[in-house]
Amino acid sequence: MLYPQRFTQFTREHADTVAALLCGLLLFLGWFALHLGWFGLALLLLPAAYVIGGYESAREGLTTLFKEKELDVDLLMIVAAIGAASLGLWRREYHLIIDGAILILIFAISGALEGYAMQRTERSIRSLMSLTPDTARVLLQGKEEEIPITQLKVGDEIVVKPGELIPTDGIIVSGYSTLNQAAITGESLPVEKTVGEEVFAGTLNGYGALQIKVHKPAQSSLIQRVIRLVEQAKTQAPPSQEFIDRFEKVYAKVIVVAGILLATLPPFLWGWDWETTIYRALTFLVVASPCALMAAIMPTLLSGIANGARQGILFKNGAQLEKIGKVRAIAFDKTGTLTTGQVQVFQVISASEYTQTDVLKAAASVESYSEHPIGKAIVQAAGDLDWIGAVQVQAIPGQGIVGIAQEQQVIVGNAVFLQQYVTNLPKELREIAQSLEQEGKTVVWVAKNPTPLFERGGEVMGVIAIADEVRSQAAATITRLKKLGVEQIVMLTGDNQETAHSVAKAVGIDRVYAQLLPEDKLDVIRRLQQQYQTVAMVGDGINDAPALAQASVGIAMGVSGSDVALETADIVLMADRLEKIAVAMHLGRRSQAIVKQNIFVALGFIMLLLVGNFLGNINLPIGVIGHEGSTVLVTLSGLRLLK
């Protein structure tokens, strides 16, 4: 039973190829039978080749004719093939039946190649699904069971472990953790969440395990969106292909009219015999049909989509692959796009009697027991220093942490928390801290108390400024985009001017728009489009969605990006790697170059074959091989983008 199942699956997955192979086999056997003089057998085999190889084209052509009242290339090819066969039977020149079968065979091969390009695209994009979880861990009768997100119901309780993505919106019923919500709110720092608070799908859980109650129906998962996008990529034609499709409908009518005239007028005008006239008219139908022109664009764009998918770049359709190669200006969101949303120590300011090293060592001694992202950043910054871990460490969620190090109480936290342990906060440090907070930094105060028994006997050692980390590849990406000829690169952010300019300087962006609301970002994109026409926007959050929608090409961060941003964007960077933007632009430009080459080759072949037909220098087989050969050639040319 296993082998029939495998055979059935193979034929279903490779139906076009199987049809082409059977058509070719029957064509060869029919030709061989004719060669041996077995005309009866040949007249059984060759019609079977016509039916098997031409069924799909005939079905599509007739569907277009009856439903849309339009002629297309598929139907013209079938008419030409049947006409050749009829002429062969009429004149008893059976090689003409072979000619028609060759036409159908090469047309079938061309269709199979294009089908493989589309299947390769789908397989490549589906392979990305492993990057994103599509299941949730549900508590059923006290036991954890992993089920698809689509099966979640309101009232279900799910478990999210440290480092995992929240699978759906819900309310925390047990646990405490920090969540990276940059994709949803634009906040660069993780937010502490505890019982009773709402969490959002797509946010990244920090160090604590959470038990979450589903309070609304689960929406489509990322994997389901990707599958839907694959279907869109297969069915939505880019502008260039839409133009070719419109051209084909008009051109097909012209061919039919011209074919009828060629089949009727020459005997009266030039004295041709009817056999020659009809034969030339059929050859004209073959060589004038724009098969190669139709295959010049979509295989190329689909191959480009597949290539991008393998590299973590999801193009939602071929139109975006076309546009990304024409981009003249790019706007970047800051938080979660140019920055990672992962915090690091930005600056250490010590009180007069202490050094920066003293401050970092003291803070690290207690924060080494913390799983909070800020604590981890402090410990990482103090990694090369010689410090001793504290004892009796106690963390107060949302406020700070205390412990005993070298027989002294060490206090780390916000200003309000510290005032419980120290008599006063130095004025100079308060002013510095206020300035840093205005720049968008998070300020952590550090103090020590030589007499732990007296709560307010401590003194301030200094402050540590925590900032969002700039992506390591951001500066190189900006440099690469400039080398590619992007005329204008800007940064858009809701943060204040100081923070914005600090990040912009670090990555090499000269033009900054700060303190923007979502509608302000939209206005900036519109102004850029007036000046540069084709503008790309790169973002990750809900507040970027209007600008992503307005931009000629919207690019979203796939891992940290919000659902709204992913749905709105035209291109998704599945692994959040900024350097892939330059790869996408290169793919877009290369695809345009190949499309132009293919169109030139297709039109060149049509012109040569038309001239050859009118001069009487080619017969139907040569016309079939030349024209359909050019179709295969441009299809294979388009598949170059798979490399």
Catalytic site residues?
Answer: 333
Q: State the Cα angle at 609 between 607 and 615, rounded to 5°.
A: 105
Q: Is 485 exposed, middle or buried (0-12, 13-18, 19+ CB in 10 A)?
A: exposed
Is the four-CA dihedral 310, 311, 313, 318 of positive or negative sign? negative
Nearest-angstrom CA–CA distance, 81 and 86:
9
Which of 382, 334, 343 is CA-nearest to residue 362?
382
Helix/strand/coil for 635: helix
Q: Which helix (H) or strand (E) holds 170?
A: strand 170-174
Nearest-angstrom CA–CA distance, 345 and 363:
12
Nearest-angstrom CA–CA distance, 545 and 184:
11
Q: Residue 254's CB: how many other CB atoms inside 10 A? A: 11
Q: Which amino acid is at 605?
A: F
Nearest-angstrom CA–CA distance, 278 and 620:
11
Q: Which amino acid is at 338?
A: L
Nearest-angstrom CA–CA distance, 42 and 93:
13
Nearest-angstrom CA–CA distance, 425 and 417:
11
Q: Where are the alpha helices (DSSP H) in 37-69?
A: 39-67
Which of 587, 594, 599 is CA-nearest to residue 306?
587
Q: Number of H helices and number of E strands within the chain?
A: 24, 22
Which of 403, 324, 319, 394 is CA-nearest to residue 365?
403
Contact (Cβ atoms closer than 8 angstroms) between residue 535 and residue 552? yes
Contact (Cβ atoms closer than 8 angstroms) between residue 287 and residue 608? no
Nearby residues of 347 by Cβ (< 8 Å), 6 or more positions away: 436, 441, 464, 465
Is the four-CA dihedral 160, 164, 169, 171 of positive or negative sign? positive
Nearby residues of 46 by Cβ (< 8 Å), 6 or more positions away: 26, 27, 30, 85, 97, 98, 101
Q: What per-residue string of b and e applies to 45-56 under the rule 16 or more CB within 10 Å gives b?
A: bbebbbebbbeb
Contact (Cβ atoms closer than 8 angstroms) between residue 546 and residue 522? yes
Torsions phi, psi for 392 (to 5 deg): 50, 45
Nearest-angstrom CA–CA distance, 192 and 283:
75
Q: Residue 156's CB: how many other CB atoms inside 10 A? A: 19
Q: Which two tokens stand for residue 299?
A: 């295989």
Q: Residue 257's CB: how many other CB atoms inside 10 A? A: 10
